[in-house]
Each structure stands twice: as C-alpha cells, then as structure tokens.
Amino acid sequence: MRSDRPRLLYLAFFFPPSRASGVFRARATADHFAAKGWDVTVFKAPDDYYERVTGSIDPEFAASVDPRVEIAAPPVSHFKWETDVRRYGRFRGNFPVLARRLNDFLHLKVFPDNYLSWGVSSLREALRRHRKRPFDMVVATGNPFAAFGAAWAFGKLTGRPFVVDYRDSWTLSQFKNEPAFPPDHPAWKWERRILRSAAASLHVNRNMLDWYAERYPEAADRMQVVLNGWDPEVFAETADPAPADEHRPLAFSFIGTITLVQPIREMLEAFRLMRESGRHADASLDLYGHYGFFAGGETVLRTELGLADPIDGVNYRGAVPKPRIAEAYDATDVLLFVTGGSKYVTTGKVFEYMASGKPIVSIHEPGCAAEEVLRGYPLWFVPASLDPADIAAALADAGDAARKADPAVTAQARAHAAAFTRGNALEGFEQWARDTVAERKPR
C-alpha cells in the first residue's frame, strides 16, 4: 500500500530544471529515495526564479527526474534580486533605502540568509501537507541555508527528525579555507542551534566533516560523509576508450562550468607550452560547459580568464545537456580536472571524469579533497606544482597514455570509478534514514 511507504520531505531550493551547482546531488538524492520505496516530496524554488534571477535553466533536465517524485515550488521573494522598478511596491518605490535596510534587518535578525522568504513559505506549505498526511523525515540541502532553518522549525513543531545536507559549507569559506563570517555573526548561532537538534548532518568529504566536528563536538557523532558520485546512465552506452590513432591530433578537454576560482589561465599557458615543446604539438583543447552558474556573466568571465580573444588550438564548444554529456567524453582523449578546490572541495565532476576511464590531469592546488577519490585511479596525472611548465609536462605524459590506451589499465580505471556511483554514495544514508524512521514509528 502506498500509505505504508515512508514519506520524505526534501528541501532543495536548486532542483531541475535549474542547472546550478549541486543540482545533480539533489536530483540523485530524490531519485534514490524514490527508487528505494519512499514517497518523496521535493520543495524547490519556482521556475520563475531560475528564469529571471539566475537565468540558468535546462528544461530537458527536469524531465530526467524520477516521475514518482512529487515536486512543489513554494514562493520566494524577489526583493534582493528585483531590478524591474515597475514591480516595486509603493513603499519601496518611494523609500528604496529604507525598504532595503528593513529587509536587511529582518534577514540579519530573524535568519541570516537571503532566501528566508522561501524558507518561511516552505515551512508553511510543509505544515499544511503534514496535517493531511504526515512526513516521516525532512532532509534539507544547502545552500541556501534557509532550507536548514525551515527543516529545524519543522522538526521543532512536529517532532519529526530532520537532516541537513552540507552540499556546500555554510560557515566555512571552502575556497579560502577560513570562516566565512566574523565570530559575532548570527549564522554561527543558527548553525549551532540547528546541528544540536538535527538527527544527522551530511558532508561531501571527510575534511569538511572534520572541520564541522571540531567546531560542533556535541553533534560530531551524528555527522556522516555522503560523497558526490557519477550517474551511471550518463555512461550507459560508452565503449572503453580505444588507443588514439597515431596520426590523429589528441583532444584535451575541460568539461564543466568555467568559473573565476579555477586556475584557467595556468591551464591555457600550460597547453601552449606543451604544444610549443613539440609533444602533441597538434593537440586541441576543447572547453565544454557554461561560463559561470548565472546567465549574463560570460563576457566578464571570458575577459578575466584570458579567453576573450581566440587562442590557437583552444575551442569553446559550449554547454552540453546532461543526457548528451557522454558525447563530449567520447570526443576527448585527455581530461583536465581544473578546480579552485581546497582541501574542502571535492566537486561532483571528478567522479564523472573517472567514470570515463580516460587519463585525467589534475590542475588545482595540492591537497584538494578530490585527491582523496582520485588516489588509486591508474590514469591520474599530477603536476609537481601549479607552475605552467609542470602542468605542461603532466599534460604531455597524459597525452602519451592516451596514445597507448592499454585496455587492462582502462578496465582498472573504470573498476576504480565503479565504487563512486551516486547510488553507492547514497546507499548508507538511505539505509540509516530508513532505520531511523522505523525506530521512531514502528510499522
């Protein structure tokens, strides 16, 4: 009977058709729980927000969500992002500074997050639905962290267990490796309050968990690592890579979203040096993906990253929808894993890279959390440093490996990646959630 199924409320502001960072983890979580027999209800942002504010929307992506997942979109206030003055009310139209200060005051005093309005409307909608048919558990993924606030309030009001999923960290600046807020900021108070009551908190890697466990020891025993992973359907029909034809120029590729935090300039310089050195002199570098997570930033990013003018051998191939991403991997001989990662950043892309079974060159600061999962991947090439000359040497070595493409090594690479599917990553957490619900409410 449908009513016997455990019922999960999943608060994920960014959910398909949004193509924001981390949306794949949200979709995978909802799909995984639905596949395991849960009745899953997702609260996401209205599509209107993705269209008008982030401008990053992929309608095809929405169709990839498991049809058993019920989706609702509680409203979000556009105050912070509204630029159309015609939509301003009389008060804001006449007293814009006062209106802004009042809005800032509310966000600072009530809950320190720009998406507070979405958290409030989600809570209201969750309580309405809970009265009709109770939820058994709430999982909230951040950012935005108003989702955590809503889950906490829901848990307090209904007594149901809630889980916070740190897809991104809240009070830790992952790219700077330092606290994101001054010590007296209310975010610290709220985070402590939420972690104290949460049934569990999920973190994307061990380093992140350790950072939180150190700050909130009272909640450390309820912290879990749930890695990101790759989606098996992406590589369902991909054959093992064959050795690259001796006479065919090699294709080096970066696949992912291009942002300012990545060492893109170093990558471009290293690629130029490799070609000049004569090793793979005719190679091309293909960039697949969007410029930034928000529409309208392409011109600035291109200029800042040195991609404004054409570069010999470098091609921007544009974004590829997820269902066709395998085509980009098929057209690639060597993958460049470029991230602004610190020891707290894993990225979701690294798992997909490994699943391709192709040589991967790491272009990031040493100590990045992604190294944790790449360790043991036999086609992983690590430059001695971020110096372009060192990267160029690693690129050339990876190119040589692509020319050889030993089937045994490729099989070993794919076997390593097989352990990192989304399903495997979520398996333990789903079982824990099922046990927790069963303990609380014996059926």
Structure-block tokens of residue 318: 């544009």
CB of 316 to another protein, least distance (A): 17
In whole angstroms, give the CA distance from residue 112 to residue 107.
5
In whole angstroms, give the CA distance from residue 428 to residue 77.
36
CB-wise, 306 or 428, nearer to another protein? 306
Is there a contact between 275 and 268 (Cβ–Cβ < 8 Å)?
A: no
CB-wise, 52 or 129, nearer to another protein? 52
CB of 319 to another protein, least distance (A): 16
In order of 51, 65, 312, 363, 395, the CA distances from 23 in angstroms are 15, 11, 34, 24, 30
CB-wise, 93 or 367, nearer to another protein? 93
CB-wise, 291 or 381, nearer to another protein? 291
Is there a contact between 264 and 434 (Cβ–Cβ < 8 Å)?
A: no
Q: Would you tell me which residues interact with another protein (CB under 8 A)?
A: 82-86, 88, 92-98, 100, 296, 299
State the Cα angle at 389 between 383 and 390, rounded to 5°: 15
In whole angstroms, give the CA distance from residue 22 to residue 12.
10
What is the per-residue DSSP string for 279-324? TTTT-EEEEES-BSSSTT-HHHHHHHTT-SS--TTEEEEE---GGG
Of 363, 394, 360, residue with least CA distance to 266: 363
CB of 95 to another protein, least distance (A): 8
CB of 102 to another protein, least distance (A): 13
Is there a contact between 47 and 182 (Cβ–Cβ < 8 Å)?
A: no
CB-wise, 7 or 92, nearer to another protein? 92
CB-wise, 92 or 422, nearer to another protein? 92
CB of 343 to another protein, least distance (A): 35
CB of 298 to another protein, least distance (A): 9
Radius of gyration of the chain (CA): 23
CB-wise, 1 or 85, nearer to another protein? 85
CB of 360 to another protein, least distance (A): 35
Structure-block tokens of residue 297: 């930033």
CB-wise, 84 or 178, nearer to another protein? 84
CB of 383 to another protein, least distance (A): 35
What is the per-residue DSSP string for 8-70? EEEEESS-TTB--TTHHHHHHHHHHHHHTT-EEEEE---HHHIIIII--B-HHHHTTS-TTSE
CB-wise, 173 or 303, nearer to another protein? 303
CB of 55 to another protein, least distance (A): 10
Is there a contact between 203 and 223 (Cβ–Cβ < 8 Å)?
A: yes
Is there a contact between 441 and 160 (Cβ–Cβ < 8 Å)?
A: no
